């Protein structure tokens, strides 16, 4: 009987070892699964962040494109208006030179010119019409071509023949000047 008890105790110990080994295996498996879950959660978070970053980049890129398109449309529109403004300026100059008696028409034209100029200011469009400043070939063109181009950079502008226009640091039309 004692042998049987010893045998039974050994069987119980072996069984307990087997149960403990199984528990350890299950714990290790659980820990491995837990690590995988944490890793997948991190991957999911990273993918989500990348997705949001891509969306923000697309938004910024499209916003820049839209701004560029709007500016180009405005610039093209302004290029089409500039000749009208020039014609109005010419009519006013001619009326001053010829002392026309139809002052109401001339006054109407002057009012129209003032409205144009107010709207140009609203749209941040600047006239290039300053005299006594240095000639700048990017902003000015000469009425008469000068043979000595080296002197142009330090030469002062004496007279504006036709106004130029700038929109957001872009030249719409160069001013025609004499030096």
Residue 145, pLDDT above cutoff 80: no
Note the pTM of the prediction, 2 decimals. 0.58
- Say if 75 falls within a structural domain: no
What gap in Å lies between CA 4 and CA 14, rounded to an integer?
15
- Say if 136 falls within a structural domain: yes
Q: Are 128 and 174 in contact (CB under 8 A)?
A: yes
Give the pair of three-digit tokens for residue 49: 């962040």
Q: Which contiguous run of DSSP H or E holds residue 101?
A: none
Residue 84, pLDDT above cutoff 90: no
Q: What are the angstrom distances between the C-alpha of 142 and each of 138, 149, 156, 158?
A: 11, 11, 12, 11
Secondary structure (3-state) at 23: helix
Residue 55, pLDDT above cutoff 90: yes
Give the pair of three-digit tokens for residue 176: 């025609």
User: What integer pLDDT is reported at residue 142 of this predicted model?
Assistant: 87
- Say if 52 falls within a structural domain: no
Q: Which domain holds residue 160?
A: 127-179
Weakest-pLDDT range from 44-53, 81-90, 137-146, 170-179: 137-146
Q: Are 106 and 88 in contact (CB under 8 A)?
A: no
**pLDDT over 70 percentage in the chain:** 88
- Say if 9 falls within a structural domain: no
Number of folded domains in the chain? 1
- Say if 143 falls within a structural domain: yes
- Say if 132 falls within a structural domain: yes
- Say if 119 falls within a structural domain: no
- Say if 10 falls within a structural domain: no
What gap in Å lies between CA 129 and CA 113, rounded to an integer?
15
């Amino acid at each position: 009987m004692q042998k049987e008890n010893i045998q039974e105790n050994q069987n119980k110990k072996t069984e307990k070892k087997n149960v403990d080994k199984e528990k350890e295996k299950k714990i290790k498996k659980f820990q491995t699964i837990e690590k995988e879950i944490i890793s997948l959660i991190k991957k999911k978070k990273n993918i989500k962040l990348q997705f949001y970053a891509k969306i923000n980049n697309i938004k910024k890129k499209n916003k820049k494109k839209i701004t560029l398109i709007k500016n180009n449309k405005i610039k093209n529109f302004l290029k089409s208006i500039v000749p009208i403004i020039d014609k109005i300026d010419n009519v006013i100059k001619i009326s001053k030179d010829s002392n026309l008696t139809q002052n109401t028409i001339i006054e109407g034209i002057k009012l129209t010119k003032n409205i144009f100029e107010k709207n140009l200011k609203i749209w941040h469009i600047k006239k290039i019409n300053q005299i006594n400043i240095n000639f700048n070939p990017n902003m000015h063109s000469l009425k008469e071509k000068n043979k000595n181009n080296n002197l142009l950079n330090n030469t002062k502008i004496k007279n504006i023949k036709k106004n130029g226009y700038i929109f957001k640091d872009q030249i719409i039309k160069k001013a025609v000047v004499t030096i």
